Amino acid sequence: MIKKSFFGLLKPRLEYDIIDAKTPAPREITASKTIQLFSHTVFDKKDKILFQVGDKVKAGQKISIMKGSDDYIISSVSGTIASISPYAGNFGMQMTSVVIKKDDRQESDTQFAEAAKTPSFQVTTDFLAHLPGAFPVSILSQTDPKVTKLVISGMDTDLLVQTRQQIVKTSASSIKKGIRILKDITNLDTFIIVVPEALSQDAISTGATVKTVPPAYPSASPHLVLKDILGKELPAGDPFEKHGIAVVSAEALAALGNAYEKKEIPTRKILTVIDKIGTKKLISAQIGTPFKDIFSALNIRPEDGDRIIIGGPMTGLSAYTEDHPVCPDTDAVIIQDRSVIPYVSNSACINCGECIRICPAKVQVSMLVRFLEAGQYDNAADNYDLFSCIECGLCSYVCTAKIPIFQYIRLAKFELARIQSAEAENV
C-alpha cells in the first residue's frame, strides 16, 4: 500500500505498474472440479429453464438458460450441470448462477466452428457476448447514433494490474485480426489503441492509431483518455456510446480475433494475481474457475479476516468467498492481508480539501459528500457534479476523516439510476 509521503504538500503519486519485458508467460490454471458461470438473466420460474440439472454440456457450448431471454453463457469446460440458481451480484444485481461439474474427458462443441466460417455481426452477437475481457456487443449493435470510434484499452485502468498490457505485449497480432473483423462486420471506422509508453512499439503492429498514456494514476481511466488524449470531453453522465464511441479492453479484441481465427470460442482469461506480500503473477484461467483453485495452484493461503479483491486496489470489488469464479471482466485478484486493511470511519468531513485537490474531474467532493450522506442524491447530481465523477477512488484514498466517499458516490449513482428506471416503467 502506498502511503502519504512525508511532505504531504505534494500530491501522492500513484503510478500504474508497467509491464516489463521479462514478465514470464501466464501460467495456465485449470479448474479442478467445478466452474461457476453467471448469466445476466433474472432467475425466473422453473418452467422457463431450458436446461436441467444433470444435462451434459461441452466445452465452448452456448447455453441459453431462460426462455425468452437473449442472454446465454458459454461453458468453458465439458461436464454436467450441477445447479442452476438465482444469484445476487453487486448492488443487488439479479443474475442466474450455473455450476458445471467437470468431466474427466473434455470435448469441444462445434456449433461455433460451423457459424464462424462466415464472420458476421449476428454470429458475434450469438456466440461472443461473453468473451474474456467482456466484449460489448450490445453497444456495437447500436444504430442511433452509430458507434464508429473504438478505443481499445491496452492499459489497465487500475493500479498493480498488468492484464491488458500483457495482451498488448503478446497478442498484438490477435488484436489486429479482431480489428479487421470489426471493420468488416460493424460500423466502426476509427480504431485507437491506448497503451503505456513502453508498449507503443508493440501496439503499432495492431494497425490501430497508437496513443500513449502517462504512468500516473488515473490517466488510463476511459473518461480521462477521451478528454486528455482524444480531446473529447463528454457531457457529465453521458455514456460513451451516445457520442458514437465505444471502449473495449484489448483482451476482448484479441479474443475476438482468436475466436474467428481458430474457430472456437476463447474461454481463458488472463489475470494478474497478487498475493499478500505483493508478489505479482500473471495467470491464464478458464472463465468460471473458482478463486480457490487459483490460490491452491499458486500456493496462496487466504486466512480469516483477509480480503479478496476482484480487480485493482482503487476500484475493485471484494469477494466474500474463495468460491467466487473468474468472470469475463475479472482482470485481477488481490489478496490483502488483514493487518494492512484500512478501515473507514463515521467521522464527519472536516473540510481539509485533500479530495478536492486530488480529484481528476474537479468535483467539489467535500460538498458532494455532505449531500450524499444526507441522501439528497438529486441535489448532489444537480448542484455538485455527481455525474462528473470518473470513479477513480482517489477521494476516499486521501480522505483524512476516512469517509467512504467513493462508496457514497457509487451508491448515489445506483440509486438515481434505479429511481429513473422505476419512473420510466410507471409512465
Partner 1 sequence: MFNQKKFVVSHAPFWHDGSSLSTRHYHIMLAAIPAVIPGFIQYGGRAVAVVCFSIATAMIWEMVVNKIAKLPVSIGDGNAALIGLLLAMMIPATTPWWTVLVGTLIAVVIGKQIFGGLGANPFNPVMVAMAILSLSWKGIFDFNEALLSYDFDFTMAYPLSSLKAFGPDAISSFSMTDLLMGRQTGGIGSTCGIAIIIGGLYLIARGFIRWEISVSFLGGVFVTALLFAMFGEEGKYAGPIFHLFTGYTLIGAFYLATEDASSPVNFIPMLIYGAGCGIMTILIRNIGAYVDGVVLSILLMNLANPLIDKIRPKALGKVVEK
Its sign, for the CA torsion 316, 321, 326, 328, is negative
Binding mask 234-273 for partner 1 (x = CB under 8 A): xxxxx-----------------------------------
User: CB 81 → partner 1: shortest distance, Å?
Assistant: 21
95 vs 398 by CB, closer to partner 1 = 398
Residue 344, φ and ψ in degrees, nearest 5: -90, 170
Q: Which of residues 402-421 bind partner 1 (CB under 8 A)?
A: 402, 404, 406-407, 410
Q: Give the angle 94-97-101 at the CA atoms, nearest 5°.
A: 175
137 vs 246 by CB, closer to partner 1 = 246
86 vs 353 by CB, closer to partner 1 = 353
What does the block give as the cell for 371? 449531500
182 vs 390 by CB, closer to partner 1 = 390
Does 218 contact partner 1 by CB under 8 A? no
CA distance 267 to 133: 10
Cβ-based neighbours of 233, under 8 Å, separated by 6 or more = 226, 227
Of 250, 283, 286, whose CA–CA distance to 266 is shortest? 286
Question: In this structure, what DSSP letter does residue 226 have?
Answer: I
Q: Given the rule CB under 8 A, which of 76-84, 125-133, 254-262, 361-369 is the region that contacts partner 1?
A: 361-369
CA distance 409 to 391: 8
216 vs 341 by CB, closer to partner 1 = 341
Does 400 contact partner 1 by CB under 8 A? yes
Does 230 contact partner 1 by CB under 8 A? no
Q: Which of 17, 251, 293, 354 binds partner 1 (CB under 8 A)?
A: 354
Q: Which of 108, 142, 200, 364 binds partner 1 (CB under 8 A)?
A: 364
Q: Which of residues 15-74 bind partner 1 (CB under 8 A)?
A: none
What does the block give as the cell for 308? 479478496
CA distance 353 to 93: 34
SS3 138: helix
User: CB 179 → partner 1: shortest distance, Å?
Assistant: 28
Q: Which of 185, 256, 401, 412 binds partner 1 (CB under 8 A)?
A: 401
Q: Which of 342, 423, 424, 426 binds partner 1 (CB under 8 A)?
A: 342
185 vs 386 by CB, closer to partner 1 = 386
What does the block give as the cell for 364? 467539489
How many angstroms from the chain centroid is the CA of residue 130? Answer: 12
What does the chain come to in residues? 427
User: CB 363 → partner 1: shortest distance, Å?
Assistant: 5
Q: Which of 44, 126, 322, 329 binds partner 1 (CB under 8 A)?
A: 322
SS3 43: coil
- Number of residues forming the site for partner 1 (CB under 8 A): 77
Q: Given the rule CB under 8 A, which of 25-33, 170-178, 252-260, 348-356 is the region that contacts partner 1?
A: 348-356
Does 3 contact partner 1 by CB under 8 A? yes
Q: Which of residues 133-192 bind partner 1 (CB under 8 A)?
A: 159
Does 125 contact partner 1 by CB under 8 A? no
Does 217 contact partner 1 by CB under 8 A? no
213: left (phi over 0), alpha (psi -120 to 50) or beta: beta
Of 28, 41, 29, 33, whose CA–CA distance to 100 is shortest? 33
CA distance 363 to 412: 15
73 vs 369 by CB, closer to partner 1 = 369
CA distance 179 to 193: 11
In order of 121, 179, 249, 257, 264, the CA distances from 116 in angstroms are 11, 16, 22, 11, 8
Q: Which of residues 276-315 bind partner 1 (CB under 8 A)?
A: 302-309, 311, 313-315
Does 351 contact partner 1 by CB under 8 A? yes
